[in-house]
Structure formats: structure tokens, C-alpha cells
Chain A
């Protein structure tokens, strides 16, 4: 049974007071809080078996290697990848996407080629492709958003596929709009058109069951810190047969089998893409986070968040002068709720919320194009996770009223 009060007890930070009021943390889309089990797992590594991995012929190095590789296996099972060779540890989703840019991208995208991404991408799935397009003379096109519904314009997408893109980049769930994209369908159509697909799973993997084989994505990127794990650890999933066509990313230790003065032989997957000493503690922490999430159950977490989204969206929209940016119905969307309030700037809102002990995000949310097509340059955003309650949603809603009063919205 899903018991939010029991879950809350596992997160030490949630007992903090901010300006004398209990912390209400509504910024999990930026980064999630960490349960004790994750904090303890990284702590235990440093206290009891800190050693480099894949190197030492001694007990604690073997323990560290086993824990690091154990975490990789946990990630594999969690997203249902076929093999651990397909799970590359990175620093975060941004690095995962850039890895693809610097390897597959530079190898297979050339002058005049088309890269197709959506208008609702996070900057981390826009800027790398802008840079690559500029570098090789490719063309970057955008799948438009229907601003009435907050969803991808599917017809426009189908038309754009006629331009035969080499690569399609799509966010699974938007961090700015909350939209859950029909990624399986997007991938199927892209493949029919001959494109390779990279999916940004930053906001999906932490909140719902994800099966990369079901989605059939060629690349799938996400960050550990948004799914209860430590910061500085991320994942790039790549289909083995695609990874096998790729030259290495960074050169150095761990990514080679043999080095002579003349050259080197690359290591096997996934190590070929993991040069240098990795974030061992981070990977172990991510493994503990996955254990925690599986324990609660991803279906339960998604159901809880759906309920939070439904509850909050309904009450928020009932407040006059509130404008929701993104889908207004709690269908095919997450509990990431962006909104504007007439006459009140999002930064002023965030300050008033902070004063009430409530952490919300304000600004462009690293998704400026997504906001720009909606005619706004900044919004306030409340994002919910497994540890948020209806009482917290009520405190949030009460504070919206307070903002409204202060600014006479």
C-alpha cells in the first residue's frame, strides 16, 4: 500500500523548517530530495570500501567494483534494457545527450542533413543539436507545439518526417509543460522515416514505469538526481547495435584495452564510453535510489502523482487570473504544473512562496522555446513527487491566493 506519511519519514530534509514553517518542497522536477537509504549507501561506500573500480587486485576494490557494476545491473532492470552493455554512466542527462552529439552525431550527421527536435525540449536537448548543426552544416527543425492543448502537433510531425531527418530528439515528459509525449508512436514513425531517435527521459524515469525496449528508442538519457539519487550521476542507454557503430567519446583510462605508443584498442561496451574514474559513490547511490523506487512501486508513484496533478490542476484553474501553461487536464501529463498569474512576475511569486516555506521554481525553466511559443518568457512551476501531500497542495493553493492579493491580480 502506498503510504505517503511513511514515505515522508524516509526523507530527512522534509522535517526541516523554512522561515519557521515546515518545508513544502515543490521543485522535484529540478532535483528530487533523497531518502536516508541513498544517503547511507554513498556514506557506506566512503566509510567501508572506498577504492577505485576495475583496477585493484584487493578486497575493497573488488567490493567497490561489484557495487558499481551492481548499480549498472539495477539500472538495466529498471528500464528493461537488454544488456548492461547498453547502460553508460555519465554525469547527467546533459552529458548523455552531448555524448551522442560528439560520437554518433559527428559520425553520421553531415552537411545538409536534417535534425528534428520538438519545441518543448529542455535546453539540454536543443543546444547540443544547434552546436552540431552549426559545426557540420546540418539543418535543425522543430516539431511545433499546439499551444491550445500543450501537446505535440502530430500532423506537423508527420509532414516534417518527409524531410528525412537523420535524428529525431524528443522529450518523454516535458519539464516545462508536464506533457507526456506519445514517444512510442513518435519513435515508430521516426524509424519508418529512417531516423535514429534520442529520448530525453529526465522527467519520465523518476515518475512512471519506463521500458526502453517497449519505446524502442535508440538512445535514452536521464539523470540520477531527479530520481532520488545523488547529483553527478546520469545514464545514457543506447541500443547495442547503435553503440557498436560509434567511436569513443573521451579518451583515457578505463575506455581502452591496450595502449601502445602508436595507438590504442578500445574497451568493450559500455566501458568504451566511460573514460576515467567514474562517480562510484554516485552510481551506488543511484542503485539505492532504484531499490527505493521499486520498493514503493513505479505504478504506485505514478498513480499518486496523477492524483496530485488532478487535485491541484482543478483547484488552481478555479482561481481567476491563473493561466496554466501546458495541458489543463490531468491526462497524459505529469504533476509538473507551470502557470502565470496576471500582474505578478514569477520571481516575485517565488519569493512569496519561499516566505511561506514553499519551494517552487520560477523563470524560463531551461525551456525558453517552449515558453516563447506560449507567448510568455517566465512562469512559476510547482512539481510534485511521491513525498508530496494534498495538505501541501492546499498550502500551495493558499499561497497563490496570497500572491493574488498582494499584486491585486
Chain B
């Protein structure tokens, strides 16, 4: 199973930047009604750039690891750069092949971020 690469399992077992930011600039909670997975993201901006990202969530390895990996990569990005992020970008970050059936899991963090920016 090449979906469960070392980095995925590592981020699943040791998710980075878990927590909340009170009064965050952007915040959104996105559940996946199909499987009950959930990701809630908090983004703090400073001088037009991402200063801090925290998140909370529960669910499968793919949804949780990809949220952890995606959010870790956001610090220092501008709002415009955040808005440009897409599925392809997330898959590149994950460095693994995701089954079509699990694409929704892999992009749960991305969707949470996109909705937070709305």
C-alpha cells in the first residue's frame, strides 16, 4: 500500500500545530458527512502574511496527516497565495499517491482552509 508512506504515518501519529487560536483572522470547521472526519483550522495573519496556523480534527490517517502537512506549509504565505492552493498542490505536498476514493479525505484540510478564506 503506497498510500501510507512514512511521512503520512508520521504526521498521523504526531500531528503538528494542533490547537486553537482565539480571535483568528480566518477560521472554519469542515466535517466530511460521509465518514464523520472533521478538520477545524485557525489562521492568524500579520503584515499580510500567515503568522500562525493551528488546527483541530479527528478522523482517518489520510485526512489528518494531509491537514497537518498542508497547514505546516502555510506560515509566511500571503493571502493571495493561500487562495491559489488547490488539490494538485496538496497532493504534491503529500508525496504519495491517493486512491480516488480517498481524495475527499486528502483534501479535507484544503476545503476547510478555502472555506475559512471566504
Residues of A within 8 A of B (CB): 343-348, 351-352, 354-355, 362-364, 377-378, 406-408
Contacts and interface: CB of A to CB of B under 8 A. Distances in A.
Contact of B1 (A347, A355, A364): A355
Contacts of B3: 351, 355
A210 to B, nearest CB: 33
Contacts of B101: 351, 354
Contact of A348 (B4, B13, B34, B36): B4
Given A364-B36, A377-B36, A347 B60 contact: yes
B73 interface: no
B99 A351 contact: yes
B61 interface: yes
Contacts of A362: 35
A363 B61 contact: no
Interface in B57-95: 59-62
B35 A348 contact: no
B9 A407 contact: yes
Interface in B27-48: 34-37
Contact of B61 (A355, A377, A407): A407
A345 B8 CA distance: 13
A60 B65 CA distance: 60
A378 B36 contact: yes
Contacts, number: 43
A236 to B, nearest CB: 29
Interface in B84-118: 99, 101-102, 105
Given A354-B99, A354-B101, 9 more contacts: A347-B35, A347-B62, A351-B102, A352-B1, A355-B1, A364-B36, A378-B36, A406-B4, A406-B9
Interface string B9-26: 100010000000000000
Chain B interface residue bracket vs A = 10 to 19
A68 to B, nearest CB: 37
Nearest to B99: A351
Contacts of B60: 345-348
Contacts of A344: 61
A177 B116 CA distance: 39
11 contacts: A345-B60, A351-B3, A351-B102, A354-B99, A363-B34, A363-B35, A363-B36, A406-B1, A406-B9, A407-B61, A408-B13
Given A377-B36, A406-B9, A347 B4 contact: no
Contact of A351 (B1, B36, B59): B1
Contacts of B36: 363-364, 377-378
Given A363-B36, A407-B9, A345 B61 contact: yes
Nearest to B105: A347
A378 B62 contact: no
A395 to B, nearest CB: 15
Residue from the set B13, B60, B99, B102 with the largest chain A CB neighbour count within 10 Å: B60
A135 to B, nearest CB: 24
Contacts of B59: 345, 347
